[in-house]
Amino acid sequence: MSDLVYIYALIDPRDFSYRYIGKTIDPERRERNHLQYAADPQVPKDWWVRKLLEMGEEPIFRVIMEVPDECWAEAEISTIAYFRKIDAPLLNLTDGGDGLHGYEWNEEQRARLGEISRQRWQDPEFRAKSMEAMQNRDLSYLDDSEYHEMMSDAARRRWENPGYRARHLEGVLTSWTPERLEEHAQTQRERCQDPEIRRAMAESMKRCWQDPEYRRRHQEGMANCGVDFSAKAKEAWADPEFCKGHAGAVDKARHKVSAHSQACWADPEYRAKQEAAKPEKSAKIKAKLAEKWEDEEFVEKQRAADEARRDKSKALWQDPEYRAKQAAARKRRQEEKLAAQQQEAEPRQPEQLKLAI
């Protein structure tokens, strides 16, 4: 009996487009290999997987068909040809049928393939043709609710598999080396310093949170994730080391922001721009607040929140232990204020004595 060969696809989880077609005799191992190759990308497919991992995603691995060993090449070639015909943005460098079972690419071959790919993308005609194919591809299936449900069910079934979750975690931990983490952090810091990127991110988040369906799904996801965030927060704040570290981090951030703000305001041009923009900013804020308070739903939420805060405050002050803590804190603040006043008065005493003499 002939051995079976699996023709599979790597699918982008963001838009469910087919990005790569391949073959394997061990699907689980091949899926794991794709994540590992992303740690040292050599071909466009590896760079694409790496980008997904950096975004906290990973490609969807789907077996398309099982074929006998004698005809896997024809099956792979026909599958790649089909998806190219419907303008799928495949990252395959060949037409298929040119692989070997158990074959491992060495570093020299990886470098050569990478160079070939870079040279192809330097060709304006090839680049224009590829971009045109990507822009004109048929995405009508994305509006199909049945397709979305099918993909969601498949993702849930995969995540319920302990082996899949373990492989996913292993691939992420293996690929995120300390050097890569630092590189990623530096890249994100540089991106966040770009005003255009910050503006685009803010607008994107505003659009998401204005969607009631998005808010509902986010809240349900937080509630059903199996983590009691309130209990975890209380446990963390009960740890003196955590409190000390948090206070140090807040102070460090405050000093950093303060130094940056002082440096900005020391610049006459920056100060002039801020002063000139004050009336417009103030008008926008007032208009936005007025618009919010005209919304009955917003007003009702604010009233409910105020009542909840009052009820919570009353409940807290009925607790003798809480009252004792507040009294002790108030006494400590008074003592610190008195000590500060005495310290300010001490340097003046010698001068006063000298004048009296």
Whether pLDDT at 129 is above 70: yes
Q: What is the pLDDT of residues 201-234, one digit of tens each?
A: 888 888 888 888 888 887 777 776 666 777 778 8
Q: How many CB atoms lie within 10 A of CB 250?
A: 10
Residue 355: the pLDDT is 46
Do 121 and 248 have their domain in common?
Answer: no
Cα dist. 38→18, 35, 58, 134 in Å? 18, 5, 11, 23
pTM of the model: 0.31
Which tokens hold the place of 338? 């008195």
219 is a domain residue: no
Q: Which amino acid is at 1?
A: M
For residues 272 and 303, membership in a common domain is answered with no
Dihedral sign computed on CA atoms, order 212, 158, 65, 11: positive
Domain match, 355 and 233 both: no
User: Is residue 299 domain-shared with residue 264, that is, in the same domain?
Assistant: no
The yes-or-no verdict on residue 54 having pLDDT over 70 is: yes
One domain, residues 58 and 152: yes
Q: Per-residue confidence at 281, pLDDT binned at 50, 70, 90?
A: confident
User: Mean pLDDT across the stretch 134-154?
Assistant: 66
Domain containing 107 equals: 4-178
What tokens appear for 305 in the block? 């929140």
Of the three residues 246, 277, 308, the one that is the final residue of a domain is: 277
Instruction: Please check whether residue 168 lies inside any domain of the structure.
Output: yes
- The SS3 of residue 18 is strand
| pLDDT computed for residue 181 by the predictor | 83
Number of domains in the chain: 3
Query: What does DSSP assign to residue 142?
Result: G
In a shared domain, residues 8 and 90: yes
